[in-house]
Structure 1
Amino acid sequence: MNDFAPGRPVVLRGGTVLPMDARRQVLAGADVLVEGDRIAAVGPALQVPEGTAEIDATGGIVMPGMIDTHRHMWQTAIRGYGADWTLTQYFVWFYLEHGKLFRPEDVHAGNVLAAVEALDAGVTTVVDWSHGLRTVDHADAAADALQSVPGRYVLAYGNIQQPPAEWTAAPEFRDFVRRRVTGDDMFGFQLAFDVLGDPAFPERPAFEVARELGAAVTTHAGVWGATSDDGIRLMHDHGFMTPGTVYVHAASLSADSYHRIAATGGSISVSTESEQSAGQGYPPTWAVRLHGIPVSLSMDTSVWWSGDLFSAMRATLGADRSREHLEAHAKGGTITHCGLRAEQVVEWATRGGAHALGRDDLGSLEPGKKADLVLIKNDHSPVSFPLLHPYGHVVFQAQRGDVHTVVVNGRVVKHEHRLLDADLAAARRQVEATVEHLRSAMGEETWQKGMNPDIPETKILDNPYTYTDYRSSSTHSL
């Protein structure tokens, strides 16, 4: 008999529960009862229906499933390839040269691997910032992959090889939306494109399509050398900044742009590891907090970084505190109390993501909410005890190997540290075929050189897009 058969209630017993509600409670020795796709109850010694499957959470932490609001999942097929890249090298490799080599089956391979990887790390919802959708066949492959894995996903449809005004107007794009965007609770939809700051505002038609479709826009904003305050002003002046808009990175913006984002109710997806390493700008949480803008976390791409949010939380707390100490030292002072606490970054990884997606049924463990949750427990690890500061333990001590159980929409998808019903061998075969295709198409010398490619002077650009000749020094100054 399957202990976690569909429809069978599940209870996690005796864990330290982080409900991530407005009070930021810590419930010691508490239970979480799941019935159907919802959380039925949270509390000590719960009475449960007969036949409920029980999971021993003693000594562990039960928290909401984590939410990643910006991940280029298709790029996971070449995990780690760009570990030594700068942002310019990334732009040239994917946008200008080799991104065109990815076939629909390669997008599918990357998405499947990324989706499985997310579940393994306790990330139950991912926004697939899918800007490699050169054709609708690519888009169908991306959607097929996401819907083959039992997580919760949002397809943020994008195409870096065409102007946003062009691909959003194509009949085949409209047909895709009609066929695939059906209101499925597990499969959301956004539009993904950037605003370059060209006064002609060539992205306007794409915003109009988003408005017509009722789809939120997610955009890389405040990326040093690519997007700037000019794009924010254009969006604001034309009325396209909405509460559903997600501004990714926002790392090199002025106070004026932060004011506009705050005033229009948008949120910022911070990819700290990316910003630290690639060069979009210093991770902006220190500035964003000053303006009261909602924050979510993301890991960007496995071409460089890990696919879990433990490292994202850890890096974010470290970067924010480092900036705070540095500024104090420059003035001859010192910091006596941290401005950003562990509980806040855990909140950004859960409730923050739910807020960014407009999903008030996600991100916390409360009766009636969707049953997306994670048990962090590892009885075989000396790092699992003592459990004194649960929020701090999640941020600084836990890692993907400590994810014991993952539940998505009431379904147990990982238990006792093993994914259930995941065909890793098939995922490996798909990815190996993609790598072989790319190496063959590029040639071995180019493939090897691509891990640290030379950049011709003519390709050091203000932005990596080719649909406008607009260039501006504003992308290089604060």
Structure 2
Amino acid sequence: MRLLVRGGTVISVDPRTGDLPRGDVLVEGGRISAVSEHLDAPGAEVLDATGMLVLPGFVDTHRHTWQAVFRGIGADWTFAQYRAAMHGTMRPHYRPEDVHVGTLLGRVEALHSGITTLLDWCHCTDTAAHGDAALDALHQAPGRSVFCYGAGIGTDIPVAAELARMRGRIPGGDALVTMAVGLRGPQTTSMETTVADVAAARDLGLRVSVHVHVRPDATQGRRPVAVMREHGLLDDRTTFVHGNGLDDDEVAMMADAGCSVSISPDVELKMGFGWPETGRMLAAGIRPTLSIDDCPSAGGDMFSTMRTTLSVQRGLDTARGGPPSLTARDVLEFATIDGARAVGLGDQVGSITPGKQADLVLLRADDLTLFPANHPVGAVVSAAHPGLVDTVLVAGKIVKRGGALVGLDLGELRERALRSRARIAADAGVALDGTWIPGEM
């Protein structure tokens, strides 16, 4: 199929291609074949992008998608309350069908707001059937997903065999669903288990992602990066999630090894992790990536995440008496090309580059929210929102057109999600009106 995206303002996030105030993007066989101010493509379907901004799809590098049916319930929770609620109280009542509908709902919502690639950090895998249900949902959703399998969370049980089984369910090549491993990590399990988990991931050729953050008053687990380095577990296939409170030399270790970092600014701020470490990572030579984390506590779109990232870091820079350490373009790169590299897809997506997969987002720039978009990148980062996402392409296929997702029965999905939410809440004894405040764990 040939598709010509015509007449939009192209923000390529590729320094070789540059930005085009008026440009065309030609898509052939699911890939971008040309980008120019004007292209002739006889016989191609024309997608009129007049009055729109044409961007690469966003990349969310860490989201616990299975929790989507409890969107907003944790707006006032601390991190300890979140753990007690989602893992201690509600997760034991999740059936495989609940994981499926939550994952599908969350993945579709992310796609609706222009997140074409999402790393689903799935730690509701208490049985093989739960893991299968999450993977089935990602296969069903029309987006590009990385199934980050968090096996054995809270235990020291061996997971190599289950990782190999799940890897066997994911095709290779240019499949929309790929796989990574969510490590339990040295702060939640033994070092022996962490070593074994990384070895199992490497045997399968998989990247790893691990949560780390250190509270100022912590007495244990204070140097998780250092202990992983001592065991030879750091390389460019390792992503650290959050990274708040790490010692300076540990950040340097990450940079030296080529590790990436996934920052979730909204959750980190409201749950008490500390200030997002965007500036520290940049200063050490690490290009941060962005993630939503969990929708019970935070909004699920990349626009609000970018806005928080820019505002908070610029505020910190000013408070410390220094010059600004990042720009709107930096933040857009965090949400696109830097994220793509962190999930192992930098040569496939993340920029509008000939030869890459055609994962594109078209934003309405004639809407009064953005009009006139004098500084298009600045407008996207500082003012855009999901309601402006008119069209989304994944691998050249239109999955959202005219503001509506294509080929999905959203009514049926909503009904399933409400039934799942009601049953889990009833079984767990959880009120859904914001009055329930969980204990801590």
| Structure 1 and Structure 2 fold alike (TM over 0.5) | yes
The partner residue of 1:370 within 333, 351, 357 is 357
Shift of the alpha carbon at 1:363?
0.6
Shift of the alpha carbon at 1:297?
0.6
Shift of the alpha carbon at 1:159?
3.5
Is contact 1:134-1:159 (8 Å) kept? yes
1:194 aligns with 2:184: yes
In structure 2, stretches of 5+ residues that fail to align are: none
Is contact 1:84-1:451 (8 Å) kept? no
Distance of aligned partners of 1:291 and 1:339 in 2 relative to their CA distance in 1, 3 Å threshold: same
Is contact 2:12-2:18 (8 Å) kept? yes
Aligned pairs (5 A) from 1:340-379: 340-359=326-345, 360-377=347-364, 379=366
- What is the distance in 1 between the residues matched to 2:185 and 2:267? 20
User: Which has the higher mean CA deviation after the structures are superposed, 425-434 or 116-125?
Assistant: 425-434
Question: Counterpart in 1 of 2:376?
Answer: 390
Question: Counterpart in 2 of 1:208?
Answer: 199
- What is the distance in 2 between the residues matched to 1:89 and 1:160? 21
Count of equivalent residues: 437
- What is the distance in 2 between the residues matched to 1:76 and 1:226? 33
Question: Counterpart in 1 of 2:317?
Answer: 324
Question: Counterpart in 2 of 1:67?
Answer: 59
Give a deviation string over 1:311-333, Cα, whole Å, max 9, x none.
111000011011111111xxxxx
Q: What secondary structure sits across from 1:422 in the alignment?
A: coil
Is contact 2:84-2:438 (8 Å) kept? no
The partner residue of 1:115 within 107, 111, 117 is 107
Is contact 1:191-1:217 (8 Å) kept? yes
Question: Counterpart in 1 of 2:209?
Answer: 218
Q: What secondary structure sits across from 2:105 in the alignment?
A: helix
1:442 aligns with 2:435: no
> What residue identity is the alignment partner of 2:101?
A
The partner residue of 2:21 within 15, 23, 28 is 28
- What is the distance in 1 between the residues matched to 2:344 and 2:351? 13
Q: What secondary structure sits across from 2:256 in the alignment?
A: helix
Question: Counterpart in 1 of 2:437?
Answer: 452
Is contact 1:24-1:343 (8 Å) kept? no
1:138 aligns with 2:130: yes
Shift of the alpha carbon at 1:79?
0.8
Q: What secondary structure sits across from 1:232 in the alignment?
A: helix
Structure showing greater Rg: 1
1:423 aligns with 2:409: yes
User: Which has the higher mean CA deviation after the structures are superposed, 117-126 or 186-195?
Assistant: 186-195
Shift of the alpha carbon at 1:244?
1.1
Question: Counterpart in 2 of 1:94?
Answer: 86
Shift of the alpha carbon at 1:444?
5.4
Question: Counterpart in 2 of 1:10?
Answer: 3
Tell me the TM-score normalized by structure 2.
Answer: 0.94
Shift of the alpha carbon at 1:14?
1.2
Q: What secondary structure sits across from 1:146 in the alignment?
A: helix
Distance of aligned partners of 1:444 and 1:338 in 2 relative to their CA distance in 1, 3 Å threshold: closer
Question: Counterpart in 2 of 1:185?
Answer: 175
Is contact 1:127-1:153 (8 Å) kept? yes
- What is the distance in 2 between the residues matched to 1:25 and 1:300? 31
Question: Counterpart in 2 of 1:148?
Answer: 140
Question: Counterpart in 2 of 1:469?
Answer: none
Distance of aligned partners of 1:21 and 1:370 in 2 relative to their CA distance in 1, 3 Å threshold: same
Q: What secondary structure sits across from 1:404 in the alignment?
A: strand
Give a deviation string over 1:442-472, Cα, whole Å, max 9, x none.
2356x668742233xxx4xxxxxxxxxxxxx
Distance of aligned partners of 1:13 and 1:449 in 2 relative to their CA distance in 1, 3 Å threshold: closer
Distance of aligned partners of 1:179 and 1:14 in 2 relative to their CA distance in 1, 3 Å threshold: closer
Is contact 1:220-1:227 (8 Å) kept? no
Q: Percent identity?
A: 37
Is contact 2:185-2:191 (8 Å) kept? no
Is contact 1:181-1:189 (8 Å) kept? no
Is contact 2:239-2:261 (8 Å) kept? yes
- What is the distance in 1 between the residues matched to 2:141 and 2:14? 28
Aligned pairs (5 A) from 1:240-251: 240-251=233-244
Distance of aligned partners of 1:222 and 1:31 in 2 relative to their CA distance in 1, 3 Å threshold: same
Distance of aligned partners of 1:48 and 1:105 in 2 relative to their CA distance in 1, 3 Å threshold: same
> What residue identity is the alignment partner of 1:196?
P
Question: Counterpart in 2 of 1:471?
Answer: none
> What residue identity is the alignment partner of 2:320?
E
Question: Counterpart in 1 of 2:294?
Answer: 301
Shift of the alpha carbon at 1:435?
1.0
- What is the distance in 1 between the residues matched to 2:290 and 2:219? 21
1:408 aligns with 2:394: yes
Is contact 2:3-2:45 (8 Å) kept? yes
Q: What secondary structure sits across from 1:383 in the alignment?
A: coil
Distance of aligned partners of 1:58 and 1:448 in 2 relative to their CA distance in 1, 3 Å threshold: closer
Aligned pairs (5 A) from 1:456-471: 459=441
Is contact 2:214-2:222 (8 Å) kept? no
- What is the distance in 1 between the residues matched to 2:435 and 2:84? 10
Shift of the alpha carbon at 1:161?
4.3
Give a deviation string over 1:139-180, Cα, whole Å, max 9, x none.
1100110111110000000146442x52414x4443232233
Distance of aligned partners of 1:226 and 1:21 in 2 relative to their CA distance in 1, 3 Å threshold: farther
- Runs ≥4 in structure 1, deviation > 6 angstroms? 447-450
- What is the distance in 2 between the residues matched to 1:226 and 1:90? 21
Shift of the alpha carbon at 1:211?
1.6
Question: Counterpart in 2 of 1:158?
Answer: 150
Q: What secondary structure sits across from 2:320 in the alignment?
A: helix
